[in-house]
Structures are given as C-alpha cells and as structure tokens.
Amino acid sequence: MKKSLTRTLMALGSILSLFIIIGIVIWYWPAGDYGDFTVINEDGTIVYEYIETNGITLHVALSGPEDGEPVFLLHGYPDASFGWRDQIIALSEEGYRVIAPDQRGFNLSDKPKGLDNYTPENHANDILGLADHFGYDTFNIVGHDSGVVVCWNIVDKHEDRVDKMVTINTPHPKVLFEFQEANEEQRKKSQYAYFFRTPYIPEIALKFNDYALMSKSMEDSFTEEEINEYKRAWSQKGANTAMLNWYRNLFTQPETEVPNRVVDVPLLVIWGKQDPHMMWQQAEPSSKMSTKGSVAYIEEATHWVMRDTPDELNKLLLDFLKD
C-alpha cells in the first residue's frame, strides 16, 4: 500500500515537474519575427506620439486637424490602437481630431508592474490626463470591449466632460454583472474571463504555439498580416501579464465602485449580433443607463465590428457624432 502510494506521488510529482518545465520554456521562449509595423499609416495620415499621463507614458495615434472636435477611440483586449485604423481614417477625413491610445499594458504603452495599476479608475484617469494634455475641456469617447468599461468609468465620475459616447459590443458594467448572474448562456460564454483571472497559466496558454489560441479566434476577421501585427504587440516585454491584469482587476472591483447611475450624456450602443462572447440582449438595457441612449444592431458583425463591417460602423459613428 505504501509503495503504491509512493509510486503514485512520484508519478504526480513527475507530471507536475514536466508541466512546470514546459511552462518555463514557453514563458521565456523568444518572440517570433512578425515583420515591420506596416498595417496602418501607409499614407502618413496618422502620426504617433508618446505622451505622459497619470504617471505613465502612453503610445498614441493621432489624426485629423488639430482644431477638430476631439474623439477618443478606446480599444479593448487583446487589441491596440491600430485596431481602429478604418475608423481613424474615416473620422479624421470628416474633420474630427482622433486620439487613439494604446491603453496601459498594451502594445507600445507603459506596462507598470502590479495588479493595482490596472484598475478601471486608473484606465479612466489615463484618458482624462490625455484630454488635459491636449487642452480639451470636453470630448467624445468611443469604446470597444474593455474600452467600454473605461468609457463608463469616465462618464460616471466626469459626466460634464463627455459630449457624446459610443459603446461597441460590451454592456454597461452593471448590466454585465446582472445579466451574467441571471443568464446561464452568458456565464458559459464568459468562462474565458474567469480563466484569465488565474495566475501564470493564462500567459502560458496564450503564448503557446505562437499565440495559436488568440490567432485562431481572430482569423475570420483579420488577415495574416494583421494578426502578425497583433503578435508583435502581444510579444512586447510584459504585455501578456499587463493585458491580463485588466481582467484580474475588473472582477475584484468593489460593488460600490462599479458605475451604476443613469447619466444624461448622449449614448449610442452598437452591437454586432454574431458576437460569440457577448449576447446582444445586453444592448438595450445598457442604452437605458443614459437618458439619451439608443441602440444600433449590425446583423452580420461579430465581436470585431471594426473589422467585419467598417463602412457600416463608420456611418453609424459619423451620423451620431454629427447629429
């Protein structure tokens, strides 16, 4: 009996050791050669600056006339500023001043260590700091995925600074928590977010086999060249942990800090109805978190509305901003 138990423990120890070794190898495996930065800015209409804000430095894409009405484009996970390229060009051509940062922890922006650096409040203050840097008392904000949470945290505490807001394929935080609690299907769709909260394992899994999991999830909406550009962003030193820290912090936010009041800012909720992660039924209740909320559905778009249906999205954005 003792020998059998000993052999079992030794076998388990060997398996665990093997997994640890494999994890260490993947963790420290050098990034691949994903080519040069060529996805956007081929005609020079977009410029990039490194701007200090809220104690860190953000890499920011800028386009359009400097005296144009400001529009901030806030990406989510696992995106970067270049994910907005079609919207940057469309908005700037119509005279808007577009500001699209790599949010903290992403791509070429700073990636401070420590979970506390990735609270929704910190992300919101980063954007407010950018607005202060450019001298904008008020501005428009457009968010996708976790960028939507940043938008709601900004408008919840600084409503007077937001002219208009657009959210894409992610609900209001209060709606997200309540809908997920009541809807088993959405809980199943959100399992990835709970996996992302665990330590170390997500970094190893996501980096494994040249970011195969994330690449596979994006291949229907992005070209190989574009996915390589994302791999370049994900392979920046410290990026995997920094990006995941967003999820690790989001679900630990005290209930008293989650935005939960109805605001008066004009709001457009846009939703691609083929999203495999976020159910479209959350769009309408999210729009009701503003007294001036409305909803627009795009039937054929997935979570990646910006890439699936850029022309339709751009028209919705411009019609709303000009109204």
Please state the length of the chain: 323
Q: Is 145 a catalytic residue?
A: yes
Question: Which residue among the candidates 96, 126, 303, 308 is catalytic per the annotation?
Answer: 303
Q: Which residue has the tokens 């996915």?
A: 227
Secondary-structure percent of the chain, ordered helix, strand, coil, rounded to 5: 50, 15, 35
- Residues 240, 243: Cα–Cα separation, whole Å: 5
- Write out the CATH class of domain 31-322: alpha beta
19 Cβ contact list (under 8 Å, min separation 6): none
Question: Which residue among the candidates 79, 126, 145, 156 is catalytic per the annotation?
Answer: 145
Burial 161-195 (b: 16+ CB within 10 A, else e): bbbbbbbbbbbbbbbbbebbeeeeebeebbeebee
Backbone angles phi, psi at 261, to 5 degrees: -105, 155
Torsion, Cα of 299, 302, 307, 308 (10° steps)? -40
Q: Is 137 a catalytic residue?
A: no
Q: Which residue has the tokens 């990406």?
A: 75
Task: Provide the edge-to-edge strand list for the sheet that holds 139-144.
Answer: 47-53, 56-63, 97-101, 70-74, 139-144, 162-168, 267-272, 293-298
Q: pLDDT tens digits for the chain (323 residues)?
A: 555 555 554 444 433 333 343 344 343 444 444 444 444 555 568 999 999 999 999 999 999 999 999 999 999 999 999 999 999 999 999 999 999 999 999 999 999 999 999 999 999 999 999 999 999 999 999 999 999 999 999 999 999 999 999 999 999 999 998 999 999 999 999 998 889 989 999 999 999 999 999 999 899 999 999 999 999 999 999 999 999 999 898 766 666 678 989 999 999 999 999 999 999 999 999 999 999 999 999 999 999 999 999 999 999 999 999 98
Q: Is 200 a catalytic residue?
A: no
Question: Which residue among the candidates 96, 230, 247, 275 is catalytic per the annotation?
Answer: 247
